[in-house]
Structure 1
Amino acid sequence: MPNNSTKILFLITLISGMLISLCANSWMGAWMGLEINLLSFIPLLSSNQDMFSTEASLKYFLIQAIASSSLLFLILLKTNTHEMFYFTKTSLWNNLIMTPLLMKIACAPFHWWLPSVVEGLSWMNCFIILSIQKIAPLMLISYMLSNNFYTQIMIISSAIIGAIGGLNQISLRKILSFSSINHIGWMLITMMMGSNLWWMYFLVYSINIILITSLTSMTNLSYISQTFNSLNNKKIVKFTLFIALLSLGGLPPFLGFFPKWVAIQFMAQNTMIFTSMILIMSSLLTLYYYMRIMYTTLMITNSEIAWTISIYPKYNYSKTIMFSLSIMTLGMLVSTLILSMY
């Protein structure tokens, strides 16, 4: 939780803007909520002490302002040319109005801004931009999404770019941002099934992001090389971090696989063979670069000194670690049990 009263105020208005968008009964109300959300987030990003965060906040503001102005223009154009609430599932207008919203959540091919913005942020702001900031645009997209060629292109490009883009990265923040782009493809495919599944997918994704960002923030990790010889005196923290990463990638015993399993079953029933193949292969690529980090850290370049000094005295890991491990390992079992009951 931020220790500054101003930051707490902006955090409250950020969540209020998101709720305004979710509860709006008109597109102008939804746009207003998005603007309140954006203007509350910019002061949280910028910092006088860190030049990188100021640069990231400027980039984020420019991209979001372009997307918001495009959305407002398209809404007004739709109002002046057609009846406002006349949205059909096959209309060109749906694809047009979805485009600035897809830019807001960094869906490929509108993804180029996310890795460079995330690289300059603190872990707390990384969590906000990768999860909370996506809720309102995703909900607005779900009102208009239909299974057409444009949507399939967005899903496939997000899956491929999110998987390939993370292969060459050494920064944990950039790896998480490309993973987020990959997960956008999965969220869009789950939206076609209905609101319940994409909310479940987003909830599981957010739990994984919370665990990863909290552990990396506590241990002050930013790059892959820092994980090699760090936390040797706290191996349970290291194992928990990698379990959370593997769950984010969708490895079967862990919680992150459950919504992907349901999505794959849906795609198989609706004969989306090509799309499901692309999504599964892209998930395997994301798992590859998570497991590459894990194998290197735990086996290949791992070295320990003869005596260990406790260099993280101010954090009590026990509650966080036990909660994380129970969520990751038991979550899949509980989810499967609930599914079998229905």
Structure 2
Amino acid sequence: MLINLLPFVMFMFIGAMIAILSNSWFMTWIGLEMNLMSFIPIMTLNKGQKSPEASIKYFLIQAIGSSLLIFSILLSKSFYMPSNMMFIQTMMSSSLLMKSGAAPFHFWLPSVMENLSWVNCYLLMTIQKIAPITLIINLVEELLLISALASMWVGSIGGLNQTMTKKLMAYSSISHTGWMMTSLYVSNTLFLIYVSTYWMLNLTVIILFNNLNLSHMNQLSNLSMTPFNKTIILMNLLSLGGLPPLLGFLPKMLVIQMLSNKFIYLITMMVILSLLPLYFYIRLIIPLTTNSMMYNKWNSVNSKFYYNMNFKFNFLIKITSLMSITGLMPVSSILFYYLL
């Protein structure tokens, strides 16, 4: 499977880099299309029954965003007038927000992620978001902040009543997208710090969920795990939620510190909205600390999973968890091999 996916993953990175580094909006559009056309085959290689449905949904949404983007680019070249540029830049920003799954164009992300494998979910929450988010800063900065705050609100509120883990992670991704855009507004360096931290934390959580075959929150109550393994999941989820003094709190603290002189009301809203994701992360943790005597009919996970897994994977989980908690080094690109 790795051999089949490696060329597509490579072209995904190349397309994203072309889009980010290009000085021409037309070359940027080509890079985004290369990235899209490389990700679609990865989605279809999944053997799940609903993966074709997710692929079609994702393709249609991205096609609409790409059409709107190229139309805006052609419009800016054909009818260049200062009075029209704000409207054109708003159209371009909207197309990029749609492609990244940020609010108010977030509606497709939970339904698409629900039908994907955990590997594809990780790609969708990380690599596929970077290029569109990075490009928005070159357009309307005010729209960037508005969308960032809206994404935090949608991600925080939308995840409160979710019981499906993939939808929960989708709303978590929407919330983190808002923080990414805010960090990009502050500085490029802070954006890289936030993205690296988010990729590493997400990698550990996705590895755990993928190998547990976890689809529903209640499945956690039927898993027989050692206290150490429960602690690994607990610490990684809390770190992803930004609980101090864990690693996930560091980039959020830096964003708040950099904005503290100008945007006090924005910071207040960001702090309030950052508390809500902690609630649904804690909802994931609660089944780990309770013993369930009932067997859920949707549970397809072997209760002895952690006792029977091989040494290599056990060692990988411990190392990535340690790095997620302490922030030793961002190695998500290296460890992604094991996820495939």
Shift of the 278–24 alpha-carbon distance from structure 1 to 2, 3 Å rule, reads same
Q: Give the aligned residue type for 1:18.
A: A
Cα distance in 2, alignment partners of residues 65 and 309 from structure 1: 42
Q: Give the C-alpha shift of residue 213 in structure 1.
A: 0.6
In the alignment, what sits opposite 1:183?
176
1:100 equivalent in alignment to 2:95: yes
Among 251, 255, 263, the alignment partner of 2:255 is: 263
Identity %: 37
Cα distance in 2, alignment partners of residues 96 and 27 from structure 1: 14
Among 160, 168, 181, the alignment partner of 2:161 is: 168
Shift of the 79–327 alpha-carbon distance from structure 1 to 2, 3 Å rule, reads same
Cα distance in 1, alignment partners of residues 46 and 166 from structure 2: 21
1:143 equivalent in alignment to 2:143: no
Q: CA RMSD in A?
A: 2.6
User: What secondary structure sits across from 1:221 in the alignment?
Assistant: coil
Among 319, 322, 337, the alignment partner of 1:323 is: 319
1:242 equivalent in alignment to 2:240: no
Contact 1:170 1:224 in 2 (8 A): yes
Q: Give the C-alpha shift of residue 214 in structure 1.
A: 0.8
Q: Give the C-alpha shift of residue 239 in structure 1.
A: 2.1
Among 110, 113, 116, the alignment partner of 1:115 is: 110
Shift of the 59–309 alpha-carbon distance from structure 1 to 2, 3 Å rule, reads closer
User: What secondary structure sits across from 2:135 in the alignment?
Assistant: helix
Q: Give the aligned residue type for 1:281.
A: I
Shift of the 63–296 alpha-carbon distance from structure 1 to 2, 3 Å rule, reads same
How many correspondences in the alignment? 321
User: What secondary structure sits across from 1:143 in the alignment?
Assistant: coil
Q: Give the C-alpha shift of residue 154 in structure 1.
A: 1.3
Cα distance in 2, alignment partners of residues 260 and 311 from structure 1: 34
* Mapping for residues 199-210 of structure 1, pairs under 5 Å: 199-210=192-203
Structure 1: stretches of 5+ with no match in the other structure: 334-342
In the alignment, what sits opposite 2:50?
52
User: What secondary structure sits across from 1:228 in the alignment?
Assistant: helix
In the alignment, what sits opposite 2:61?
63
Among 6, 11, 14, the alignment partner of 2:12 is: 14
Shift of the 265–302 alpha-carbon distance from structure 1 to 2, 3 Å rule, reads farther
Q: Give the C-alpha shift of residue 48 in structure 1.
A: 7.4
Contact 2:204 2:324 in 1 (8 A): no
Q: Give the aligned residue type for 1:221.
A: L
Q: Give the aligned residue type for 2:176.
A: H
User: What secondary structure sits across from 1:251 in the alignment?
Assistant: coil
User: What secondary structure sits across from 2:260 in the alignment?
Assistant: helix
In the alignment, what sits opposite 2:288?
297
Q: Give the aligned residue type for 2:207.
A: S
Q: Give the C-alpha shift of residue 62 in structure 1.
A: 0.2
Cα distance in 2, alignment partners of residues 314 and 248 from structure 1: 25
Q: Deviations over 1:7-52 (max 9, x none)?
A: 2222222222112212222111110011011111111111474221
Contact 2:218 2:287 in 1 (8 A): no
Cα distance in 2, alignment partners of residues 236 and 321 from structure 1: 11
Cα distance in 2, alignment partners of residues 35 and 302 from structure 1: 48
Cα distance in 1, alignment partners of residues 318 and 309 from structure 2: 18
Among 175, 178, 185, the alignment partner of 1:192 is: 185
Q: Give the C-alpha shift of residue 332 in structure 1.
A: 8.7
Cα distance in 1, alignment partners of residues 27 and 201 from structure 2: 31
TM-score normalised to structure 1 length = 0.87
Cα distance in 2, alignment partners of residues 48 and 17 from structure 1: 22
User: What secondary structure sits across from 1:167 in the alignment?
Assistant: coil
TM-score normalised to structure 2 length = 0.87
Q: Deviations over 1:152-174 (max 9, x none)?
A: 33122111111010011111111
Structure 2: stretches of 5+ with no match in the other structure: 295-301, 330-340
Q: Give the aligned residue type for 1:171.
A: M
Cα distance in 1, alignment partners of residues 303 and 76 from structure 2: 65
Shift of the 192–236 alpha-carbon distance from structure 1 to 2, 3 Å rule, reads same
Shift of the 32–224 alpha-carbon distance from structure 1 to 2, 3 Å rule, reads same
Contact 1:215 1:237 in 2 (8 A): no
In the alignment, what sits opposite 1:340?
none
